[in-house]
Amino acid sequence: MSETTTRIHTQSGQHHPVRLYLVVWGLLFVLSAFSYLVDYLQIQGYPRWSLILLFMMLKAGLIVAIFMHMAWERLALVYAILLPPLLVLVFVALMVSESNYTIFTRHAFFGAAQ
């Protein structure tokens, strides 16, 4: 075997530059600071929960992509891990959209107290 082939076979695993991890940790810190800033500025109502959920999803995406090495995995594995939670979110959205119909039906058939 040549020296290049031997060197390739002795290396194991993926190694990424430390700079990448430091940048991701910095981004996670900044996103967390923005999330705390939402509370500090006392933003209320839908904007509050929208911002908190946005920052949470961005942080989760960074963690999954970089620290769980999903950015470098095969597409089939990414779909196997990320697609089921995405489908659960779609089903939750469908249930939320049907909730007004359900409450309307309950009031129509069971009657509101008069």
The number of distinct structural domains making up the chain is 2
pLDDT at 70: 76
Of 66, 34, 74, give the one whose Cα is nearest residue 52: 34
b/e 88-102 (16+ beta carbons within 10 angstroms → b):
eeeeeeeeeeeeeee
Q: Are residues 57 and 87 in the same domain?
A: no
Question: What is the rounded distance in angstroms from the CA atom of residue 94 to the CA atom of residue 88?
Answer: 10
Q: Are residues 9 and 45 in the same domain?
A: yes
* Single pTM value for the model: 0.59
Q: Are residues 6 and 60 in the same domain?
A: yes
pLDDT tens digits, one per residue of 41-97: 999 999 999 999 999 999 998 888 888 877 777 787 778 877 888 899 999 999 998
